[in-house]
């Protein structure tokens, strides 16, 4: 692998552990002002020091994130549909590679909706993005999206989607945890991270999902709502980090979370400028 490509990937997947805690805050690109992400700066600022990478759109990056941050940026570059529109799958590439480079992104992210009427369009978009990314040493992260059909998150569907994403050149794949996840990760020849999905009932549920995903072959998480929709988001991301990077068990993570809850979060920083 070329130096630039490898260097960017190692900014996301930490070489010390081979793992990653990415923070996903890109939800507004199709959901609008998602609960607890209405003011992105307020949500993102306290969490930034604990994220190995931040996944978001260029609009939120420019408007709501300090330009002196050291946290690497994974830029969401697919979009063009909304939760109230005809189909979430009808996405295009909304941000070009030059813009990603200008924004100092370490990777670009695109969703693919396998099995939908837009499958071919999505896969050609992914392939074209990979062609561009490989030219400049920018890794492409493919998200195996399910749209509103959360029930699609089973092992057969996710294995198929992840493998196709990797075959088409994605350097990292983001998918969902499911029963039989070891088959999903085991048949995907590039690193997989998991999304958290909608907020789970308890913190322990989120810690168990994270722990099981890592044990079954994920290199980490690209998690959003289970972190920042929690009333104690900093305690939450620290506990997730302990599982991903330090091998903490779910109940150990819960203890950390409970003690972290009692600490006062530092005041959030305004975007510089
Ligand atoms: C949407 C995404 C989101 O970033 C993803 O779903 C991660 O967030 P969450 O943990 O809230 O599910 O890629 O397509």
Q: What is the CA radius of gyration of the chain?
A: 17
Sequential pLDDT tens for the chain (273 residues): 799 999 999 999 999 999 999 999 999 999 999 999 999 999 999 999 999 999 999 999 999 999 999 999 999 999 999 999 999 999 999 999 999 999 999 999 999 999 999 999 999 999 999 999 999 999 999 999 987 676 777 999 999 999 999 999 999 999 999 999 999 999 999 999 999 999 999 999 999 999 999 999 999 999 999 999 999 999 999 999 999 999 999 999 999 999 999 887 665 555 543
The pLDDT of residue 84 is 95
Judge if pTM exceeds 0.85.
yes
Distance CA 259, CA 244 (A): 18
Regarding the beta carbon of 91 and ligand 1, being less than 6 Å apart is answered: no
Average pLDDT of the residues of the chain: 95
- What is the Å distance from ligand 1's center to 24 Cα? 6
The pLDDT of residue 115 is 93
Distance CA 9, CA 105 (A): 11
Q: Which domain holds residue 42?
A: 3-229
Regarding the beta carbon of 197 and ligand 1, being less than 6 Å apart is answered: yes
**In this structure, is residue 261 part of a structural domain?**
no
**In this structure, is residue 240 part of a structural domain?**
no
What's the pLDDT tens digit per position in 172-194? 999 999 999 999 999 999 999 99
Closest residue by Cα to atom 13, ligand 1, is 143
Regarding the beta carbon of 193 and ligand 1, being less than 6 Å apart is answered: no
Closest residue by Cα to atom 4, ligand 1, is 24
* Three-state DSSP state, 143: strand
- What is the Å distance from ligand 1's center to 56 Cα? 10
**In this structure, is residue 199 part of a structural domain?**
yes
**In this structure, is residue 38 part of a structural domain?**
yes
The pLDDT of residue 147 is 72
**In this structure, is residue 164 part of a structural domain?**
yes
Distance CA 193, CA 20 (A): 8
Q: Which residues are annotated as catalytic? A: 174
Closest residue by Cα to atom 12, ligand 1, is 197
Total count of domains within the chain: 1
- What is the Å distance from ligand 1's center to 22 Cα? 11
The pLDDT of residue 268 is 55
The pLDDT of residue 110 is 98
Regarding the beta carbon of 21 and ligand 1, being less than 6 Å apart is answered: no
- What is the Å distance from ligand 1's center to 35 Cα? 13
Instruction: Give the position, in ligand 1's atom list, of the atom nearest the Cα of 143.
Output: 13
Regarding the beta carbon of 24 and ligand 1, being less than 6 Å apart is answered: yes
Distance CA 201, CA 48 (A): 24
User: What is the sign, positive or negative, of the torsion defined by CA atoms of 187, 193, 198, 199?
Assistant: positive
- CATH number of domain containing 93: 3.20.20.70
- What is the Å distance from ligand 1's center to 122 Cα? 17
What's the pLDDT tens digit per position in 8-17? 999 999 999 9
Could you give the residue ranges of the DSSP H alpha helices within 74-118? 97-102
**In this structure, is residue 194 part of a structural domain?**
yes
The pLDDT of residue 44 is 98
The pLDDT of residue 272 is 40
Regarding the beta carbon of 195 and ligand 1, being less than 6 Å apart is answered: yes
Closest residue by Cα to atom 5, ligand 1, is 195
Count CB-CB contacts under 10 A for residue 169.
Answer: 17
**In this structure, is residue 244 part of a structural domain?**
no
Regarding the beta carbon of 223 and ligand 1, being less than 6 Å apart is answered: yes
**In this structure, is residue 259 part of a structural domain?**
no
């Amino acid at each position: 692998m070329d130096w630039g490509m490898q260097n960017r990937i190692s900014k996301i997947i930490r070489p010390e552990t081979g793992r990653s805690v990415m923070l996903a805050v890109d939800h507004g690109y199709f959901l609008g002002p998602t609960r607890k992400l209405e003011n992105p700066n307020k949500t993102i600022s306290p969490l930034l020091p604990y994220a190995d990478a931040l996944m978001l759109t260029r609009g939120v990056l420019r408007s709501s994130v300090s330009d002196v941050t050291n946290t690497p940026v994974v830029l969401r570059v697919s979009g063009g549909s909304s939760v109230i529109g005809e189909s979430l799958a009808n996405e295009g590439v909304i941000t070009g590679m030059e813009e990603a480079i200008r924004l100092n992104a370490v990777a670009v992210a695109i969703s693919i909706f396998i099995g939908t009427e837009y499958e071919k369009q999505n896969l050609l978009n992914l392939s074209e993005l990979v062609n561009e990314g490989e030219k400049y040493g920018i890794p492409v992260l493919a998200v195996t999206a399910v749209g509103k059909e959360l029930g699609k998150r089973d092992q057969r569907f996710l294995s198929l989607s992840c493998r196709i994403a990797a075959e088409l050149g994605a350097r990292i794949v983001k998918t969902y945890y499911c029963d039989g996840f070891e088959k999903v990760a085991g048949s995907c020849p590039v690193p997989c991270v998991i999304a958290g999905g909608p907020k789970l009932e308890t913190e322990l549920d989120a810690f168990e999902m994270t722990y099981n995903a890592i044990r079954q072959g994920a290199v980490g998480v690209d998690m959003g709502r289970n972190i920042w929709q929690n009333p104690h988001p900093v305690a939450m991301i620290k506990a997730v980090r302990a599982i991903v990077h330090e091998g903490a068990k779910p109940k150990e993570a819960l203890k950390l979370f409970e003690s972290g809850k009692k600490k006062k979060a530092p005041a959030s920083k305004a975007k510089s400028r």
